[in-house]
């Protein structure tokens, strides 16, 4: 049974002449401990699909089933449990961490929201979480401006891990980082997956990252999935002209030297 089953999701924004279908009839399965990459150019509907999968926005139609349960039918109590199990990491760690909060307060936020542990335990839990993402615990009392982009994204990953989720939607998690830092963060995500068996819905416009990072890939264009296959098959035999165009645009980045888990 897949951990996440998405079926026929459709979502439009705007009315009248502004009406636009952002996501159209999107279906996919994501299995436990695996990564499904959602690739496509800017505006293809990737982020909207990720937000729909976590029910951060409501679809016009379609279904999302998580661990056998219909997410769109969940009441507020069940939805809280789902939110604990399904976290998200965003592209820009500068805007996803509150600039007025010390790092440890931001990382501890989900612990507070989900009543995990006592308040007195949170600092120690955060120190352990920071350690698990390769951050020194002496950063615990810093503000976001005192950290580099790569360190901030590690803190955002620590926050996502704080509730021990089984699914993390990663929306372009390394696109805002220096190329030299991208591979380090990708390797961290791979290590986390092999240790915790977490599933990733990994959103990226960069097919170069997909080859070593993902198990399966869905290619999106204009709101639709145009091609879906294992990563090995996609790179060996891309079926769609659009996919071949994306593949041919891959530069020889250091990110390609990422080692598999």
> Strand locations in 31-127, DSSP E?
35-39, 61-66, 69-70, 86-89
What span, in angstroms and rounded, lies between the C-alpha atoms of 217 and 228? 6
Partner from ligand ADP, Mg ion, none binding residue 176, C-beta < 5-8 Å depending on class: none
Interacting residues toward Mg ion by CB under 5 A: 47
Q: Which of residues 7-46 bind ligand ADP (CB under 6 A)?
A: 13-14, 20, 22, 40, 42-46
What span, in angstroms and rounded, lies between the C-alpha atoms of 83 and 95? 20
Partner from Mg ion, ligand ADP, none binding residue 125, C-beta < 5-8 Å depending on class: none
Partner from ligand ADP, Mg ion, none binding residue 43, C-beta < 5-8 Å depending on class: ligand ADP
**Pick 17 or 42: Cβ nearer ligand ADP:** 42
Q: How far is the CB of 119 from Mg ion (least distance, A)?
A: 35
**Pick 40 or 59: Cβ nearer ligand ADP:** 40
Partner from ligand ADP, Mg ion, none binding residue 35, C-beta < 5-8 Å depending on class: none
Sign of CA dihedral 44, 48, 53, 54: positive
Phi, then psi, of 44 in degrees rounded to 5: -70, -20
Q: How far is the CB of 192 from Mg ion (least distance, A)?
A: 22
Partner from ligand ADP, Mg ion, none binding residue 115, C-beta < 5-8 Å depending on class: none
**Pick 169 or 192: Cβ nearer ligand ADP:** 169
**Pick 155 or 170: Cβ nearer Mg ion:** 170
Residue among 24, 35, 47, 96 that touches ligand ADP (CB under 6 A):
47
Structural contact between residues 8 and 62, judged by C-beta atoms closer than 8 angstroms: yes
> Strand locations in 47-126, DSSP E?
61-66, 69-70, 86-89
What span, in angstroms and rounded, lies between the C-alpha atoms of 96 and 122? 20
Does the footprint of ligand ADP cover residue 60 (CB under 6 A)? Answer: no
Instruction: Please give the helix or strand (H or E) that residue 6 lies within, else none.
Output: strand 4-13
Question: Which token pair is 22?
Answer: 């952002």
Binding site for ligand ADP (CB under 6 A): 13-14, 20, 22, 40, 42-48
């Amino acid at each position: 049974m897949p951990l996440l089953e998405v079926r026929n999701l459709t979502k439009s924004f705007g009315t009248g002449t502004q009406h636009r279908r952002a996501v159209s009839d999107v279906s996919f399965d994501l299995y436990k401990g695996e990564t499904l990459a959602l690739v496509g150019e800017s505006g293809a509907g990737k982020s909207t699909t990720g937000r729909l999968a976590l029910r951060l926005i409501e679809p016009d139609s379609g279904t999302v089933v998580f661990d056998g349960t219909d997410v769109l039918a969940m009441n507020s109590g069940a939805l809280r449990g789902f939110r604990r199990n399904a976290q998200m990491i965003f592209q820009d760690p500068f805007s996803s961490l509150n600039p007025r909060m010390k790092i440890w307060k931001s990382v501890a936020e989900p612990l507070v929201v989900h009543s995990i542990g006592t308040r007195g335990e949170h600092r120690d839990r955060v120190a352990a979480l920071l350690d698990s993402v390769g951050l020194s615990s002496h950063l615990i009392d810093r503000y976001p401006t005192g950290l580099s982009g790569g360190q901030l994204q590690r803190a955002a990953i620590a926050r996502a891990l704080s509730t021990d989720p089984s699914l993390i939607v990663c929306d372009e998690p390394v696109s805002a980082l220096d190329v030299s830092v991208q591979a380090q963060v990708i390797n961290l995500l791979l290590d986390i997956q092999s240790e915790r068996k977490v599933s990733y819905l990994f959103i990226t416009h960069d097919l170069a990252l997909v080859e070593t990072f993902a198990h399966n890939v869905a290619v999106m264009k204009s709101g639709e999935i145009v091609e879906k296959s294992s990563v090995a098959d996609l790179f060996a035999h891309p079926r769609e002209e659009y996919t071949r165009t994306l593949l041919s645009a891959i530069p020889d980045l250091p990110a390609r030297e990422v080692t598999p888990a």
